[in-house]
Structure 1
Amino acid sequence: MGLFSGFTRRKFLQGAAAGAAAAGGMTPGMSFGAQAVPPGKKLFKDIELTYFQDSNWLHSPLWLSPHLMKEAGVGIKSRENYDGGDAVAKILPQLLSKRPRFDWVQFPSLFFGAFAETGQLEPLDDYFAQYAGSQDYLDWVMPAYREFYTKWDNKTYGVMLDGDIHILHYRNSYFQDAGLQSKFSKRFQRDLEVPKTWLDFVDATQFFTEELSSQGIYGSSMVVNPPNFGWGFWMDIAASAGVNYFDENMNPTINQGKAAESLDIYREIIKFGPPGAEAMDIGTTIQRWQSGSDVMSVWWIDLSEFTVQQQGPELAEDQRGAIVPGWLNDDGSITNRAMSLWCRTASIPKNIPQDIKDAAFYFIYRMSHPDYSNEMVADEYCGSDPFGRTHYGDAAAQLYLQANPQRGTDNDLWKTNAGIFKNFDTAKNHLDAGLANVEVGYPQFFWEGTPEYADALGRNISKAVSGELTSQQALDEAAEEWAKIAQKLGLDSQKRQYRNFIDGARKLGYKI
């Protein structure tokens, strides 16, 4: 599955360096005198850092602290947790202060552009250039994350820590059930298969609901609330149909093309959901999946990870993942787009002493680096999902079956240390599905105004779901609000910021 399958992280970096040496040149991104990593000596004078993180990201900096203190003389002194939804309120005043309370900060990536736009994040390109093999690392970060959540105006201001992506979760036993297969084939004149298109997904949702709801089992639950997140699940459908946020002149396009048709499909899926489907929230979708009450769920990749801990072996091993359904094109091809919604980036404030900046960069770089993050993303006490190439494949799947060697169990924050999955095939399928979706990953908003755009779109979509507005009316209302938001924030500034989205999307081959 991974592009570097069969290579250990050490072999990959050593191989890149050896290839450059054989060519008589230097490793890309390496300057003369660049420091090797790990350095084999202390680069810093036992500097202890303070950092901010959203409370759902858990504990990896704390268990990595003694490793990096030993490796290079930098560790963690303290952390401050905040609710992820309060990221702007908690972080922005600190960035704008003369001396922030944090030495580095982790935040949801949808706020990356807003923070970079302040001019108060430290540019990181020169820091990367100080270390051998840094270009190998940058190429190792999956493009769906690197192009949107680390770069701003052609400079690097962030380091990836978490690669959230939507995937299609499903219960395999229902698709393998001979009785259900026979009924589905008679009704739809085709085999019962994991849905490949959104219309297939509607049919499967309706079928399973009508066949199994008497047992308390439904076809699917689709997130609607909170509205500032619910829009992202509609966008899985809409983006695959070619719907985009704005044109290059910052005119909203969320109400154009197949936008209303895609919202009709979203509403149709919800119609066949369980009681309360019209206001389904994130927590309820988790509970339903953990209890085995839904056959399918379009959700973030880690649904199967934290669900397996709550279920018996039979239910846990029945979980499978696949690429999100796509849009069937006129030529018979299918376009898939999976939302990279939320994610997490780490950055350094400008207004701190230079020696602290140097140490903070080393810490977040090494934490993100595969030397540490290969095991980190496979740990239930981390909160990070895969974001780099070696986070996928057979070797990566094996890490989900074993204890994390980076930490023990001698802390109240992590009371166990065992593999997430019990079965290699389950772990491998989990990562295969993740990679398939990352390769068609579609970015969320990540520029200034994100909370307002998200609220306007999600709120009007909810009105369509409740029947208060038609799909077209709801999207027209949202587009009108978006135009006003762009004008309020400054149209020229918004157009310039939006260029970061356009440039990244075109690098991924998307038509914008």
Structure 2
Amino acid sequence: MNERERRDFEQGLAEEVDAFLAGKPSRRTFIKRFGQMMGMIPLAGLALPAWVDQALAQAAVDLADASTPLGRAQAAAVKASTEGPADGSAFRAVQAAKQFPNVTLNMTYESGLQALDPRNFSGPVWEKFTGMKSNVVELSHPDQYSKPIAEHIAASGAYDILDIEPAWTPSLADGGVIAPLDDYIAKYMNKADFDDYHPLFKALPTYKGKIWGFFDDGDMFALYYRKDIFSDPKLQDAYQKKFGKALEVPKTWEDYAQTAQFITDQLQPNVYGAGHFRKAGSPGNQFDFLQQFRANKGVFFDADMKAQLSTPAGMKTLENMIAANKASIPGNNELDAVSLWAAFLQGKVAMIYSWPPTGRMAANYSQSAKAINFIPQSSIAGKVGYAVVPGGHPEHATGYSKALTADSPNAEAAYLFMQWATSPPVSLARTMLPYSLRDPYRLSHYKSEEYRALWPDAKEYLVNLCNSANGGLLDMVMPGWQDYALSLDRMCSSVWAGTDPKAALDTAAAEWDQTTERLGVDSQKAFFAEYNKLPGSSADHTVESLGMAVKLE
């Protein structure tokens, strides 16, 4: 093993351990796991093989062919950055940034595919425009939170720009790790850009009346289903005879389990009705429980900040999830998101709900990039439909904001990059990169004719993401989020292993109360009150229920 391979091995091992402890795999692990699932990367060894690193290194630095939708979007981003309009955020950022030609920006990104954007597109393009260089620091997901805190305590000034979960914003802001952007926004930004955010995402970086970052990743869950299966005349007739109603894409979680069981009974072992990423620590259990629990009118805490998990809403949620598990592909409870994607692409599963890359992979768009051409071709391209998850309230699971570190030695230069990268034309080009995991979040993304031209059904995909955000629910944007989430993951995993659901809910509720007490009941009550102001904090406080829904055609 040479020195580089040894470093890769140790880095991969550290990331996997961190990911296991925190319940979140890194995208580097995603690449490796996907290859393993398809038999293209050996199961032994943790480092990526050299040919994968070479493929990643060959990801296009130059702009794409201008005759393609992606190329046209990139050309529009270049024009907006260099020609204007003069009041556009992209143009203003580039012009102002030219005063910092010798600066190198240190920015954190999650390891793997997320980091390909700044390494191969936005970083090099920004350098061409401004002379400013960028250094991409790849971190495992847990380290994206812990490392900036450690560097802040050490006053090292190691990082300029952070990729953070929106849920971390209050903790990092109160801890002095990140800086508010309001003064820079007033000086440089076209504030009309804020109106281009979907309303679910617009307020996410706002805390205590200040703006602490730019939202940058619309990680909305959605339902992806096989249109050919749901339109099959024989299945439609059999379903009508059995249940006295039409076979349709399910609207409730009860119908979801029933439909999945019917498809499994009719088509197994070739196709199963559903699949879920239920593996402990994968993650997945926490997000699924959160969206179903709130769709069932569950609330997190009472007025005294006591956990309200062990309630009829909690029991109904676990019962629905258990029924869905029984109707699913064998090994369902040990699947992670990657293995579920693989099963769906291979045509083994009729329905899944997951993050937006599902749609791009199923259409074979992601596989168009040389950087990740080891992802197998989809066997279901052209057969996939898109819908809001049953219950109508999908989770916005994690996502990212760009934040400015309070200790940055290049604060103004770093801010200008953030403004440029998240501006409407540049962010569109970034979310259209086939090898990136950045997902649409602006209205201009959903409406983009170029994005809608990426594959035949891309328009329906984008409209559904917008509709999903209208009824979408947010992770807890408050301290302790990770601990609360991991309690839910442990709770669900114990139920899959045979624990009585009521007992598991009681245990999780007790763990939530311990977390709240450790962080301070009064303090958490104040944070929870702030969180409840955000659209998407509960099923009764969504963008749609507030009259702010965005309807697209």
TM-score, with normalisation over the residues of structure 2? 0.76
Taking a change above 3 Å as real, the CA distance of residues 396 and 509 of structure 1, as seen in their structure-2 partners, is farther
Q: Matched residue of 1:315: which SS?
A: coil
Aligned to 1:224: 278
Distance 2:143 2:93 in 1: 35
Tell me by how many angstroms 1:205 deviates.
0.5
- 5 Å-filtered alignment, 1:272-291, equals 272-291=327-346
Q: Contact 2:395 / 2:473 at 8 angstroms: preserved in 1?
A: yes
Q: Deviations over 1:382-441 (max 9, x none)?
A: 220011111102515335x2xxxxxxxxxxxxxxxxxxx3x2xx1112111111111111
Q: Contact 1:74 / 1:359 at 8 angstroms: preserved in 2?
A: no
Q: Contact 2:108 / 2:144 at 8 angstroms: preserved in 1?
A: no
Q: Matched residue of 2:135: which SS?
A: strand
Q: Matched residue of 1:50: which SS?
A: strand
Tell me by how many angstroms 1:41 deviates.
6.3
Q: Deviations over 1:121-154 (max 9, x none)?
A: 1111111111252x21122222222323x12222
Aligned to 1:366: 420
Aligned to 2:45: none
State the identity as a percent: 23
Matching residue's letter, 1:45? F
Aligned to 2:434: 380
Larger displacement relative to structure 2 (152-161 or 185-194): 152-161
- Of 406, 422, 427, 1:350 maps to 406
- Of 102, 105, 116, 1:49 maps to 105
Q: Contact 2:213 / 2:401 at 8 angstroms: preserved in 1?
A: yes
Taking a change above 3 Å as real, the CA distance of residues 390 and 12 of structure 1, as seen in their structure-2 partners, is farther
- The unaligned stretches of length 5 or more in structure 1 are 1-7, 19-26, 327-335, 402-420
Aligned to 1:417: none
Aligned to 1:139: 195
Distance 2:476 2:435 in 1: 28
- Of 388, 391, 402, 1:323 maps to 388
- 5 Å-filtered alignment, 1:96-245, equals 96-133=153-190, 135-148=191-204, 150-215=205-270, 217-227=271-281, 229-245=284-300
Matching residue's letter, 2:107? Y
Matching residue's letter, 1:195? P
- Of 132, 135, 140, 1:75 maps to 132
Q: Deviations over 1:226-278 (max 9, x none)?
A: 34531111222111111122235322122234221121101110111122223
Q: Matched residue of 1:168: which SS?
A: strand
- 5 Å-filtered alignment, 1:410-429, equals 421=455, 423=456, 426-429=457-460
- 5 Å-filtered alignment, 1:493-508, equals 493-505=523-535
Tell me by how many angstroms 1:55 deviates.
1.1
Distance 2:258 2:500 in 1: 24
Aligned to 1:480: 510
Q: Contact 2:220 / 2:355 at 8 angstroms: preserved in 1?
A: yes
Distance 2:535 2:93 in 1: 34
Taking a change above 3 Å as real, the CA distance of residues 293 and 506 of structure 1, as seen in their structure-2 partners, is closer
Distance 2:358 2:107 in 1: 27
Aligned to 2:487: 456
Tell me by how many angstroms 1:66 deviates.
3.8
Distance 1:45 1:451 in 2: 38
Matching residue's letter, 1:391? H
Matching residue's letter, 2:503? Q
Aligned to 1:405: none
Distance 1:373 1:499 in 2: 32
How many pairs align?
A: 450
Aligned to 1:330: none
Distance 1:41 1:11 in 2: 16
Larger displacement relative to structure 2 (161-170 or 110-119): 110-119
Larger displacement relative to structure 2 (196-205 or 108-117): 108-117
Matching residue's letter, 2:111? S
Matching residue's letter, 1:318? K
Matching residue's letter, 2:323? E
Aligned to 1:445: 476
Taking a change above 3 Å as real, the CA distance of residues 74 and 320 of structure 1, as seen in their structure-2 partners, is farther
Q: Deviations over 1:460-491 (max 9, x none)?
A: 12212222122x22222111110111101111
Distance 2:252 2:509 in 1: 27
Q: Contact 2:80 / 2:90 at 8 angstroms: preserved in 1?
A: no
Distance 1:509 1:231 in 2: 17
Matching residue's letter, 1:317? G
Q: Contact 1:35 / 1:130 at 8 angstroms: preserved in 2?
A: no
